[in-house]
Amino acid sequence: MEKTAANGGHGGVTLRAILIAFFLLALISPAGFYGELVYGASYMFAAGVPSMACIFLLFVLAGLNPIFPKFGWRPLSRKELLAIYGITLVGGPLMTHGILAWLIGHQITPRYVAHAIPEWQNAFMEYFPSWFSPTDPAAAENYFEGQSAVPWGHWGVPLLAWTSFMSAFFGCTLCAVILFRQLWITHERLSFPLAQVPLEMISEEKVAGRGGRLPVTSFFWIGFVVICGINVFNSLSLLWPAIPAIPLTGKTLMQWNNVGPRAGLGQIDLYLDPTMIAIAFLIPKELSFSCWFFWFLRVLMTVGAIAAGATPQTPDGWYSSGFPAPYYQGGGAVIALGLWALWTGRRYVAGSLRIAFGRGHGVADSKEPMAYRWAILGFVLCFVYMVYFCWVAGTRPLVGFIIIGLLVSYYVMWARLRADTGLGFLPFPLGIEELMLVPLGSKIFRPKEIINLIGLRWAYFPGFGESFEVVTGNALEAFKIADSARISSRRLLIAMVAGFVLSLGLGMYILLTGMYHYGFNYISTSSHGWLKNQMWIVGGRIYEMLENPAAFDLNGTIALAAGAVTAIGLGVLRLRFWWWPFHPFGYLAANCWGMQWYWMPLFVGWLWKSLTIRYGGLQLYRRLMPVAIGMIVGDMVGQGIRVALTLMVRKAV
Is the pLDDT at 66 greater than 80, yes or no?
A: yes
Structure confidence at residue 216 (pLDDT): 87
| Distant-in-sequence contacts of 644-650, Cβ < 8 A, 24+ apart | 645/41, 645/235, 645/239, 646/35, 646/39, 646/41, 647/31, 647/34, 647/35, 647/39, 647/41, 649/239, 650/39
3-state secondary structure of 204: strand
* Band (7; pLDDT cuts 50, 70, 90): very low
pLDDT in tens, 325-339: 999 999 999 999 999
More confident residue, 358 or 40: 40
**Termini Cα distance of the chain:** 46
Cα separations in angstroms, 260 against 310, 318, 520? 10, 15, 41
Average pLDDT of the segment spanning 576-592? 95
Mean local confidence (pLDDT), 383-396: 97
Helices 432-440 and 447-455: angle between axes, nearest 10 degrees:
150
- How confident is the model over 418-436, as pLDDT tens digits? 999 999 999 999 989 999 9
Cα separation, 508 vs 623, in Å, equals 45
Average pLDDT (600-617) is 97
Chain segment 216-258, per-residue pLDDT in tens: 899 999 999 999 999 988 888 877 888 888 889 888 999 999 9
Burial code (b: 16+ CB inside 10 Å, e: under 16) for 531-554 equals bbebbebbbeebbebbeeeeeebe
Neighbouring residues of 587: CB distance < 8 A, sequence distance ≥ 6: 290, 294, 333, 566, 567, 570
> Residue 281 is inside which H or E element, if any?
helix 274-282
What is residue 344's three-state secondary structure?
A: helix
pLDDT tens, 448-479? 999 999 999 999 999 899 999 999 999 999 99
Looking at residues 626-648, what average pLDDT do you find? Answer: 93
Question: What phi-psi label fits residue 446: left (phi over 0), alpha (psi between -120 and 50 degrees) or beta?
Answer: beta
Question: What are the CA-CA distances from residue 354 to residues 188, 339, 357, 495 (Å)?
Answer: 20, 22, 5, 28
Output the pLDDT for position 204. Answer: 79
pLDDT tens-digit readout, 267-300: 999 999 999 999 999 999 999 999 999 999 999 9
pLDDT band at 318 (very low <50, low <70, confident <90, very high): very high
From residue 149, give the alpha-carbon distance in Å to each of 76, 152, 515: 42, 9, 10
Domain that holds residue 526: 5-649
> Band of the pLDDT at 206, cuts 50, 70, 90?
low
Least confident of 65-79, 392-406, 493-507, 589-603: 65-79
Tell me how far CA of residue 607 lies from CA of 192, 283, 420, in angstroms: 21, 12, 21
**Distance of alpha carbon 298 from alpha carbon 319, whole angstroms:** 13
Most confident of 49-58, 111-120, 351-360: 49-58
**Number of structural domains, the chain?**
1
- Residue 524 pairs in a beta bridge with none
Residue 429: per-residue pLDDT: 94
CB 614 within 8 A of CB 210: no
251 forms bridges with which residues in the sheet? 270
Rounded Cα gap, residues 48 and 316, in angstroms: 21
